[in-house]
Each structure stands twice: as C-alpha cells, then as structure tokens.
Amino acid sequence: AQTVTQSQPEMSVQEAETVTLSCTYDTSESNYYLFWYKQPPSRQMILVIRQEAYKQQNATENRFSVNFQKAAKSFSLKISDSQLGDTAMYFCAFMKHGYGGATNKLIFGTGTLLAVQP
Amino acid sequence: NAGVTQTPKFQVLKTGQSMTLQCAQDMNHEYMSWYRQDPGMGLRLIHYSVGAGITDQGEVPNGYNVSRSTTEDFPLRLLSAAPSQTSVYFCASSYSGTGGLDTQYFGPGTRLTVL
C-alpha cells in the first residue's frame, strides 16, 4: 500500500520570502503521479502542481516548483515570493499510473498549514 | 460550466438519522469519487465510480452507500449516522482512463455534524 507523509504540520513565512514544504511517500510502483493541492480557508481544493514520476525534470508553475527525488521518494514544494493569498493548507498526494478509473484514486498526506505573514 | 456542485453545504444530524449528500458535475466526467476530511488525517477515499452503474469501495467505506445511475450524479448515503461520521465531505470528478493525466476537480465540500 502507498503512504504519503508530511512531517511539518505548520509553517510560517514572511511575505516575499521563499518557503519549502516537505513530502515523502512510500510505494513499490515505478510509474505514478504526485500532486500538491492547496486548500485555502474557503475549503476549496485547488491543484497547484503535478509531477509525472517518469519525468526527470522538476515541474514548475509560476512561483511554485517541486524538487522531485525519485530514489529518495521525496517530493517537496517550493513557493517563491510568497504572497498573503498563499496562506492555506497544502496537501501532497499520490496517484498510481495506469489506464482505467481504478487508478484515479488519490492518496493524501495529512497536510501542512502555511501562514504567510505581512 | 458549474463544475462539481455539492449540496448541502452544512448539515447537522442526530445519531441514527439518514441523509444523502448530493454531488453533480456537468463536465461529462466518467470518474467520480467521495472523500472525507478529518483533522490531522488528510482526505480519505470513501467510494468511487468509473462510470454509470459501476461503483467500488475506497479506503473507508463502512457506513456509506453510493450508486451511480447517471454520468452526472453520484450521491453518498448515510443510512444511520454516527458521531464518527462527523467530517467534511468532498466529491471529485475527472476523466477516466488517462492514468492521472487529467485534473481531478473537487466540489466545495459539505460539513456534516452528527450529534
């Protein structure tokens, strides 16, 4: 069975600074996807970034980038130039690769609550 | 497109009562699922469906029933609510058969309290 671990329950960062959120996972699969979701106080789940395990290049979306270390089973999220709107709970999630709906199941970590201070 | 909609947004039940959480999507997605979110535990999969007439259990299915008679709707039924079912419930949908290439869209959630 796959597991996802986020060891930082809470983090704080000053506006405009850079912060890194950690995520490790355990799987025996060789092909999979990793995600970071953001949940602001509105409770809406928003996809931040996605990484395909077969791609060596780290994914980037504007101020958000990941450091994907497949051998170490590590998938950290870096937020550059932090903004007040980045304040949210961040969840790391794993999905097994395959075809057919049974592989669309997301396994989530317990989340990291990020507070961006003015 | 309304995306994924859930009703109600909030609900309070007494132990033993039954209710149905509604979920609908207008994106013609084959795959739909229900998650529950509890403090300190992230989101956990309750049930999922890969198409009309096809459902299966997730990680925490006990106490919940689902059915999928149409592509658009995927209701979650609590037959006899228990305090352990106090949680926030999310419905999600995506295209199926692409192995994660398509984004899963989440509804706004339903906060359920069982007294």
CA A100/CA B73 separation, integer angstroms: 19
User: A99: distance to nearest CA of chain B, Å?
Assistant: 4
Q: Kindly indicate the confidence band of residue A6, based on its pLDDT and cuts at 50, 70 and 90.
A: very high
pLDDT tens per residue, range A54-83: 888 999 999 999 999 999 999 999 999 999
CB distance from B103 to chain A under 8 Å? Answer: yes
Distance of CA B52 to the CA centre of its chain: 15
Least confident piece of the model among A24-33, B10-19, B72-81, B85-94: A24-33
Position B103 scores a pLDDT of 76
pLDDT tens per residue, range B39-62: 888 899 999 998 999 999 999 999
Interface A-B: count of C-beta contacts within 8 A? 75
CA B87/CA B1 separation, integer angstroms: 28
Give me the residues paired with residue B48 across strands: B33, B56
User: A39: distance to nearest CA of chain B, Å?
Assistant: 10
Handedness of CA B114, B36, B73, B67 (dihedral sign): negative
Inter-chain CB proximity B92 and A45 less than 8 Å: yes
pLDDT tens per residue, range A94-118: 998 776 656 688 999 999 999 999 9
Position A24 scores a pLDDT of 98
Q: Average model confidence (pLDDT) for chain A?
A: 93
Position B39 scores a pLDDT of 86
3-state DSSP call for residue A104?
helix
Q: Which residues of chain A are within 8 Å of residue B29 when distances are taken between CB atoms?
A: none
Query: Could you tell me the CA-to-CA distances from A86 to A44, A60, A63, B26, B27 in Å, in that order?
Result: 13, 16, 10, 29, 28
- Choose the mutation target among B32, B43, B68, B103 for the interface with A, i.e. most A CBs under 10 Å: B43
